[in-house]
Structure 1
Amino acid sequence: MARDRRQTAAGRSVLTVLTAFGVLAGAALAGAAPAGAVPLGKRVAPGVTYRQFDISAAAGETHAHLLTVDLGNPHVRLDLLYPGTVAARATVSKLADSVGAVAGVNGDFFNITETQHPGVEATGATVGPAIAGEQVLKAAVPTGQRFGPSLPPGTTTTDVFGVGTDRRARMDRLTLTGSVTTPEGRFPLRGLNQYALPENSVGAFTSRWGSASRMRATCGTDTDRAAACSTDTHEVTVEDGKVLSASDTPGSGPVPAGATVLVGREEGAQQLRKLSVGDRVTVTHGLVAATAKVPYTFAIGGYPVLRGGAPLSGLDDSVSAVRTVVGFADDGHRMLLLALDGAAAYRSGMTIAEEAATMKALGASDAFNLDGGGSSEMVTRDAGAGAVTVRNHPSGGAERPVPDGIGVFSS
């Protein structure tokens, strides 16, 4: 019976959204508006529109901020917002301003804390794969090592939302492909710039990782993020195709451009111990898409909640929170980016099931959940302004530094 009541609440949410768009167009917004509020349907840039409205959800009224992006407009493009390296964080406003984005939202879940591993620092790196400017940044951590709420059945940390070189948005899966070739043979590469490596594996860290310690990559197991760090580790630095140095303890500090640091745990560490300084080593890596036939210009991790107009089965319908979600319509040619407000009056938010229903009501055929809570944020830039404006109230009272986000750009 409780489930039926929650489903009814999700239905009420949909009706309220439709009312907001059908009745309030051209009129004042419903409910209290946050600082920097703008009229419904304000044009941010050619092909980019911002609006806000109230939603009646199961836990109470919440407030939504919505960006609509026409990918068919040749002046508009999307790309990943990030601080320049994977293991780093900055606020969404700083990320957007640093690259001249006209709008943006926060992105993937990330390694935010390491209370289970004393002495090990959180890296700030994201859970899923990431592509920026058509360049692969990182691969996904094992599903058991992810941060964030439980995944819906059938989804994994390799799920992504992205836009291809054909300018169409889509949901997909990106898996790591790669190898390490040594004088003794070849073995698979199973990690790339990620905060957690699979057990018994070798992973690669490049200059795109940043300066954070690589120790976290050897902690936890494939099924338990809180499990102890491995006691059997080894790393080697490869430069110009040769082993430059080796250590039994994963290090920290920037990886030089053109170099690769290989980190191994358990059987992977044993493989790396066979190498000596001066040995020839070749490392290859890339991401392979499950469905896309064109390269991605950008891709970001999270998990799907709506596919082909239908909510995924098993979506949580009991926990309400402030959330960020991205979706698309019109065969991937129209983007919808939605962030809930974290002001005290609206902080109850909505459930994942309500989120999927809301995106469907807004016309999305597919939708993808991103990090929420204190990370949820939307920014837009007024015409002629030198900086973006934060449109929602972050629930923590201030912007939270995050590792990535989705940026909207206009020429």
Structure 2
Amino acid sequence: MSYTGTFGQRLGIFFTIEGSVLSAVSVTFILCFALYKWLRRTVRTWGKPVMQPSDASDSSLFLNLMLADLIQAIGNMPNIKWMADAEIMEGPLCTAQAVIKQIGIVGVAMTSLAIAVHTFSILVLRWRAPRHISKFVVVGVWVFTALVIGIPNAVHRNERYYGPTGFWCWIVTEYKVEQIVTEYLWVWFAGLSMAILYTLMFVVMRGWFIIDNGIHWHKNYDSVHHGAAAPETEEDKQSKAIAKMMLFYPAVYIFSFFPNSLARWLFFSGFETPYQFSLFASTVYSLSGMFNLILFFVTRPALVVGPNVTFEETVPLSEALHRKSSSRGTKRLGHLPDIHYDESPEVDIEKRSVGPDFDPRMLTDRNNLTHSPASRYGSLPAPTPPPGRGSTMEYLSVDRNGSYQRSRGSSSLTEEEDYGHLPG
């Protein structure tokens, strides 16, 4: 599998370059678009209180996958020189290609595994992670990658560690242990772990396993004995739908790395693999960034369009109910699901905000007032609203048991409320 500069080998390298260019352009577009959205949102909301829908899957992991794909694609660009010169020369460019390829490949593997674990936690374990956990995971991925690649480089800094290996530059064949430990071990580990995780997710989604106070086979599970599970909310349904879509990204990774992994495994085992197969496997692997872009547009269009910026406002309850009911049929994949209000919501007196929908006629609504002697029980005004939230007074009544009652018609809620952030 050595590079001799024949026309067939150079043509095969050209295909790997094409795949890398397509992936680089694709992921660069996504990263630039994400930066543009962030800048636009920052300018529009500067100094203004805003409420934005939370991304149910937290795009940090996906954007990090795009960044790793970009680094991996850049690592194949020196192949242009090797193809043009019909030979691979040792030197700074060769060393740079080897290091960049390692960083990209390990970064893609670890980020794909992180997405798989994140999806498994949402879909099967129903674990609600802290809000910014994905940011720490991203940092951990790159710290781990730096250690895995940097330590062997420091140990062999005075030796010939990188050089031509087949059709590109990488760790020379004298360091077979380092070849496996610093890259392919983590590629195979990530692929095997994802296969196990998604197999478990499949059997749980099919109902063959039920996780409720332990793991139970479907035939042996007694829901009455263990207690019936809580009814699934609309938020849970949409969270599962988003998690299912996230399955495609690691699936693309497994499809992309398997041919290349097989070719390298045969090479490590002493088999002389045809250069056609090796370059085909490398081309498929180089296209992973473009594959992710296609899935990005197909499965997560809401993230492409970007969340709408909503400024804080206080609206009447009737209008809020109308807006909520009118948006129930809207498909908002990739964002926190809408919360549906009950017709008679429970109101916390201390935390409830006073809205601008006060109607003086409500004070004369005899059906909603509790009458009591003025000598002992009187009307109490609601707590004074904070500045900027309206100054309208709203009246409460106290019954003989000392409990507060509020006119139902005077209830108001803000259009958007913070119901928490889905796992990051």
Tell me if both proteins adopt one fold, taking TM over 0.5 as the criterion: no
Choose between structure 1 and 2: higher helix proportion: 2
Bucket of the pairwise TM-score, normalised by the shorter protein: under 0.3
Choose between structure 1 and 2: higher strand proportion: 1
Larger Rg: 2
TM-score (norm 1): 0.23
TM-score (norm 2): 0.22
